[in-house]
Amino acid sequence: MVGINTWMVRGRQNANFAVHLDKLKAAIGGIRDPGKASDGLGHVREEAARLAANLNGEEWNRFEAGRYISTRLAMRQGWASFKYILDRPGNEDEKKQWAERFLYESPEETLRQAVYYRITQSMRRGGASVTLGSVEEGRDDAGEHYVRATYASGRNTYYLDWFEDSGTWRIRSGGRGHPIRGTGR
């Protein structure tokens, strides 16, 4: 057992907890070594299939956003997505929860969640189910390697471009339709 005896908890002086050493070793052992080359295509194929399954789930899960949305995408589109959620007509309690998450939890994670929410809303429009199409490697105009996953939803086709980000592969860009191959945009 590894014990930690000072962990500040809101509303309490502190909390004591212990983690079994085997669990800690397993967690640390599961961290990918960024120095080793990754199989981007294989990894993205698995993540893209998992994303399609999550998009088809009964409920939107905000905690999946960190797995899929890159920091760059969160910074580029997060604020616009967040404002869209707050500005649209709808449930005021839900809007309040979004604002509280931004103010009291993590602004960056909230922006990731907002982007993921917009992707979910776009691809599931009208209750359409999402199916994974092709998963192919490419290079963008700057020569950076990416993996593009295409999805079908109703009569629409979407693409999501996955780039290596913080030791894993995450979505950096995407859109509706299938752009010219090799552009990365």
User: SS3 for 99?
Assistant: helix
pTM of the model: 0.73
Range picked from 1-5, 19-23, 101-105 for highest mean pLDDT:
101-105
Which residues 6+ apart lie within 8 Å of 69 measured at CB?
112, 115, 116, 170, 171
- Residue 19 pLDDT grade (very low, low, confident, very high; cuts 50, 70, 90): low
pLDDT at 36 over 50: no
- Residue 77 pLDDT grade (very low, low, confident, very high; cuts 50, 70, 90): very high
Closest of 132, 125, 116, 121 to residue 68, by C-alpha: 116
pLDDT mean across residues, the chain:
82
Q: What is the DSSP string of 134-179?
A: EEEEEE-TT--EEEEEEEEETTEEEEEEEEEETTEEEEEEEEES-P
Per-residue pLDDT tens digits for 91-139: 899 999 999 999 999 999 999 999 999 999 999 988 889 999 999 999 9
Better-predicted residue by pLDDT, 185 or 83: 83
